[in-house]
Structure 1
C-alpha cells in the first residue's frame, strides 16, 4: 500500500513539474562509458591469450560442429586460449602436457584410438578433461567409463525433458527447468558413489547429466544432456569451471529492463481486453493502471527502466517528415521515468526498421522499406532532434531497432552519422530478419547489447535462457512493449493482472537467484560490457593463494570464481562475494588481485 501511495505521489509531483515547465535531468550513471579510443575490443583482447586448453572436434560430425559453434564463443567470452584439433583434417594430436585442460567435442570417441588412453593417463597424473557431448556406447567408451565414474551403462538414451541443477552448483539451482522440444539426448548410465553429480533429469534422483569424477590426481567432467545451442552456453561454462583447482572467467554483472515504444503516442491496437477488464480507453489504461503497476514493480525490485522512444506510428518511408506536435504524453511519461532513476533512448522516428529496398519482408513482417539512404537518415535525424527538444537535459545513447530489425546499411549509417549512439540493443537469439548480437564492443566502438528475453509470458525456453545467461555472463536483459496488452499473441487475452504476476514472479526469481546482480540502465550495462570484453588475466594458484594479474583493466571488472580446492580468505585488490556452493563473485578494483587460501 505504501509503494502504491509513493507511486501516485511521484505522478503528482511529475504532473506538477510538467505543468510548471520543469525538466528532469538524468541521474549520474553507476557505470560510465569508456572513451571509444580507450576501449580494447574482445576481438583484440583474445589474440593475446595463452593457449591453455586443447579442443578435440570432428568437422565431419554435425553434432560436433554444433557444439564447436557454441564453444568458440564460450571460450572467447571466458577468455580461454585454445588450440583446436579437427580429427577430420589433423593427423596429430599435440602432447596433452602442454595444456591445463582438454575439452572433447565428440560423441563417438573411437577415432581417438590410443590417444584416448593417453588422455586418461594424463588426467591420472593431474590433468583435467571435459567430455562435453553425450557419449555413444562403443568399445572405446566401455574401456574408459569406469574412469569417468560410470559403473554401468546401456545402449539406450534417456529423454531430457527437464534438468534439475543442484543448488550449490549454479545460480538458480535447486529446481528443474523444462526443456523445449526434448528428445532422448542423455546416455543412460549409473554412477559410482565417488562421482559428484551436479545436474539430473527432472529431479535430484534422475538420470545424471552433469557430473565430475576424480581420477588419480586429476578430474573428468562429463556433460550428458546433449543440447548444443546458444540458450545453454552457461551450463557448459559452469561445467568447464569445475576443472582445475580454481575456475575463473570475466562476467558483466548487470541487469537491464527495457520498455520499448516508451514514451510514444497512444499505441494502436485492439483495446477489446482493456475495455473488457477495466472499462477504460487505451490511453487511460496506460496512465492509470499499466504505468503505476510498472513503477510499483520497479520499486519492489530496485529496477531502473530504460525507455526507448517512438515519435509517431506513421508509415511514411519516402523521407517526408511530419514532426510530432503533441508532446504532453512524452513529457509526462519520460519525466516520470527519469525521476524514477531510469534512462531514455531511441527506438524510431516511426516503427519502420532501418532497411532499404534490397530487403524483402514478404509476408513475414508488416513493414515498408525506406526509399533510399537519405530518407532513412532524415528519419533518424528527426528522432534525435525530437528527443533533444523534449528532454534537453538528457543524453541519449542507446538505440533499439524497431522489432529488433536492422539492416547492414542501417547499422553502418548509425555508426557513421550518429556518434551520439553508443549502444545498439537488439536480440540475443535468431529470428526472421532479426539483428542478432553477442555481448561485445564492435570494431567501430558501438556496444552490441543483446536482449535475452521479452514480454510477460516467460515461457520455458526464456526461463532456461535466463538461467544460462546468469551463469555465463552474469547478466539479465529483458524488454516489454506497452502494447503487448493489445496483441493476443503477446498475452492480451490473459488479463493484465496475470501478466503483471508473471513479470513479478520472474523478477522474484532473479532476485532470489542472483541477489548480487547489479540493476543497471542500458548505457550502464554497456559500460559494464566494455570492461568485461576488454579484460584478460593470468591466474597463478599456490597452496597459499590465488593470484590474478589483469590486462586491459580500467577501474573495475567482475569475475566468476569457482574455488574447487581450498577455502578463500582475505582478498587484496578486490572484493569476494559468496554466491552459492564454492562459487563466488569477484569485484576486481586493482590490476592485481590476491585471494588468500585458508586451507
Structure 2
C-alpha cells in the first residue's frame, strides 16, 4: 500500500492542536486533575525513623578519637552522621578517658586524630591487627612526629615533610567515585595536606589540584589487611561523601544504603508577577517581566525538563504583601496561578506550599537584624490564619491535587512555626529547606523527624553554582546518591543572583550542571518532592546484614518495604548473577543495587 505523503505533517499538526487545546483549557481556568497514583509516602504505622533503626546495628566499627584535640572533635561531628547514614554501627574510644578495647571485636577501625601521641603503643596494636587481616582508616592529615613515624611505612609513606601543603582543589580518580575524573575547587583552601611521597604499591584515588599532585586519598595493603588514608584535612558537611567513599574501600565488599533521587524545586512558583528590576529582561528581550516569564523563561524551563526528564516541584506563594497581623487579603488573579500550576502538573511535576506571603513563620523573638528584610508575625494565630488561607487558595486553584510539601520562605522557619505546622496542618508531610547552615536558615539532614514529617534539605540553588556548591553536589552524589536543587523565577531580576549575565547565559550554566549531573549519575531517578520524601523514608529505615563468601555476597535487608537502593563497592571479586534485585555499574568497582526483595544474593565471578 502506498504511504500517505502528508502523514508526518498530520502528526505534527495533531501535536500542535493538542498543545493548543491544553493551553486553551488552562487559560480558561479548567482544572487539571492528576492521575490517582499511589502516594509515595509510607503509611504512618510503617515508618521507622533512622534514629530508631540504627539502635539495632551491630557495632562493627571502632572509632578512636581524642576530645582534647579540637580537630578530632570537629571530625567526629561529621563522622557520627556519616556512619549513622551509612548504617555502620560504631563504638567510640575517646582517649581522653578511654583505653583501647580488643580490636578483634571489630571489622574496621577509624582513627580520628591528627596527633597520634595519645595512642602510644596502641599504634603498634593497630598495625599488628591490620597485618593479621584488619582494616583501618586514618581519616585525618597526620602531624609529623615520633608516633606518626612508627606507622608511616605501613601506611605506604616512604618520606614526608614537617610542613603541610596548600590545597585549593581536589582531583578524584574517575574509577573511585561518582563525578570523578576532574578537579573540584575548595572554597577557602588552606595548608591542610601533609607533604608525603608514597610507595609504588600504594593505590592513590585523589590528589591535590591535578592527577599526580600531593596524594590526598590512598590505600595500602599491609600483611593480610589494609590501611586507607585521608590526607585532605577538611571536616565539614560538604565533603562527607568523600569520607563515605574512602570508608567503602576498607572491606572486601563495601555496602551502604542510599536515597537515589533528584529533585528540582521552583520556589515562588506559581506566584504573582515577581517584583524586581526588569532592566536586563528589557535589555535582552525588549519585553515586560510578565511576558518574559510566560513566553521565554517558562518554555525554556519546560524544554530543560523534557531534555533531562525532570519533574519540577513548584511551591506556591499567594501574594507578596508584607502584612503579618493576621488580616487576610485573598488573591483574585487566579488565571496566572492556574495556568502555570496546571502546566507543572501536566509536565509530571508536583505543587506544594511556600507561603501566604513571603514572610517566614517566625514570631517576635526572631531577630533578622540586617540579614533579611522581613517582618515577624504578630502572634501564632496570625501565622495559622496565613497558612490556612494558603491552603484554602491552593485547594480552590487545584481541586483534587494532593499537596504535602512545604518550603519555608527564604528557608527560614522558627521552632514555633515548625511546631505549628506539625500540630495544626497534618497535610504537611515534608519540609524542604537547607542542607547547610546559614544566618536564620532552617538546617536539615535527610531524615524523618520524630513527629513523622520528612526533613528534606535542598543542597544547591540558582543557575550560578559556585565552587562550594559544586563540591557539595559531587559529595552528596557519593554520600546519599541525591541531588536537590532550587531556584526562583525572580533570580533573573537580581544582580546578586546573576541577572546581569542575562537569561541565556544563566540557562546555559544550568544546562551545564544538568549535563554534568546526568553524565556522572545516569542511574539517578528524577523525582518530585513527595516522591523524594518517600525515598528518604525507605532509606532512613533500612539496615542490612552482610555475609560474604568466596562465591557470593548475601544481604538481608531489615525494614524493607517495596524497594531499596544501596551502593556496593567490590574491592574483591567481580559481581555476577543477582537474585532479589538488579545491579548497575556506576564507575570502577562501584555498583548501585536496586533491591526488590529483602534478601539479595550476588554471585561472585
1:85 aligns with 2:86: no
1:498 aligns with 2:508: no
**Structure 1 residues 446 and 10: CA distance shift in structure 2, 3 A:** farther
The aligned counterpart of 1:299 is 306
For 1:48, which of 50, 56, 68 is the aligned residue? 56
SS at 2:367 equivalent: coil
C-alpha separation in 2, matches of 1:172 and 1:13: 42
C-alpha separation in 2, matches of 1:225 and 1:291: 42
TM-score by length of 1: 0.98
Give 1:541-580 correspondences, 5 Å limit: 541-580=548-587
C-alpha separation in 2, matches of 1:115 and 1:288: 68
SS at 2:364 equivalent: coil
- Does the CA-based 8 Å contact 2:29-2:335 persist in structure 1? no
The aligned counterpart of 1:333 is 340
Gaps of 5+ in 2: 1-8
Gaps of 5+ in 1: none
For 1:316, which of 312, 319, 323 is the aligned residue? 323
For 1:38, which of 33, 39, 46 is the aligned residue? 46
**Per-residue deviation, residues 138-171 of structure 1 (Å, max 9, x unmatched):** 1111121110011111111111111000000000
For 1:282, which of 274, 280, 289 is the aligned residue? 289
The aligned counterpart of 1:272 is 279
**Per-residue deviation, residues 173-228 of structure 1 (Å, max 9, x unmatched):** 00000111001111010111100000001111111000000101000000000000
For 2:427, which of 396, 402, 420 is the aligned residue? 420
The aligned counterpart of 1:178 is 185
The aligned counterpart of 2:145 is 138
The aligned counterpart of 1:519 is 526
- Does the CA-based 8 Å contact 2:585-2:591 persist in structure 1? yes
Give 1:66-145 correspondences, 5 Å limit: 66-90=74-98, 92-145=99-152
1:224 aligns with 2:258: no
1:509 aligns with 2:516: yes
Offset at residue 89 of structure 1 (A): 1.9
May I ask how many residue pairs the two structures share in their alignment?
595
**Structure 1 residues 208 and 7: CA distance shift in structure 2, 3 A:** farther
**Structure 1 residues 10 and 157: CA distance shift in structure 2, 3 A:** farther
- Does the CA-based 8 Å contact 2:278-2:493 persist in structure 1? yes
1:63 aligns with 2:71: yes
Give 1:226-241 correspondences, 5 Å limit: 226-241=233-248
For 1:195, which of 202, 226, 229 is the aligned residue? 202
After the TM superposition, which of the residue ranges 13-22 and 208-217 deviates more from structure 2?
A: 13-22
- Does the CA-based 8 Å contact 2:27-2:339 persist in structure 1? no
**Per-residue deviation, residues 261-311 of structure 1 (Å, max 9, x unmatched):** 000000011111111111111100100111011111111101010000000
The aligned counterpart of 2:474 is 467
C-alpha separation in 1, matches of 2:573 and 2:583: 15
- Does the CA-based 8 Å contact 2:29-2:339 persist in structure 1? no
- Does the CA-based 8 Å contact 1:26-1:343 persist in structure 2? no
C-alpha separation in 2, matches of 1:549 and 1:187: 41
After the TM superposition, which of the residue ranges 137-146 and 503-512 deviates more from structure 2?
A: 137-146
- Does the CA-based 8 Å contact 1:30-1:520 persist in structure 2? no
The aligned counterpart of 1:432 is 439
**Per-residue deviation, residues 87-146 of structure 1 (Å, max 9, x unmatched):** 1122x1101100000000000112111111010000000000000000111111112111
**Per-residue deviation, residues 489-516 of structure 1 (Å, max 9, x unmatched):** 1111111111000000000000100000
**Structure 1 residues 31 and 529: CA distance shift in structure 2, 3 A:** farther
After the TM superposition, which of the residue ranges 24-33 and 576-585 deviates more from structure 2?
A: 24-33
After the TM superposition, which of the residue ranges 217-226 and 157-166 deviates more from structure 2?
A: 157-166
**Structure 1 residues 375 and 7: CA distance shift in structure 2, 3 A:** farther
- Does the CA-based 8 Å contact 1:165-1:175 persist in structure 2? yes
For 2:399, which of 392, 406, 419 is the aligned residue? 392
Offset at residue 12 of structure 1 (A): 3.3
For 1:349, which of 349, 356, 359 is the aligned residue? 356
C-alpha separation in 1, matches of 2:317 and 2:17: 27
**Structure 1 residues 66 and 8: CA distance shift in structure 2, 3 A:** farther
- Does the CA-based 8 Å contact 2:27-2:335 persist in structure 1? no
C-alpha separation in 2, matches of 1:19 and 1:348: 24
**Structure 1 residues 30 and 572: CA distance shift in structure 2, 3 A:** farther
The aligned counterpart of 1:261 is 268
SS at 1:571 equivalent: strand
C-alpha separation in 2, matches of 1:13 and 1:131: 63
SS at 2:227 equivalent: strand
C-alpha separation in 2, matches of 1:6 and 1:466: 41
The aligned counterpart of 1:212 is 219
C-alpha separation in 1, matches of 2:21 and 2:58: 57
1:410 aligns with 2:417: yes
SS at 2:154 equivalent: coil
For 1:588, which of 584, 595, 598 is the aligned residue? 595
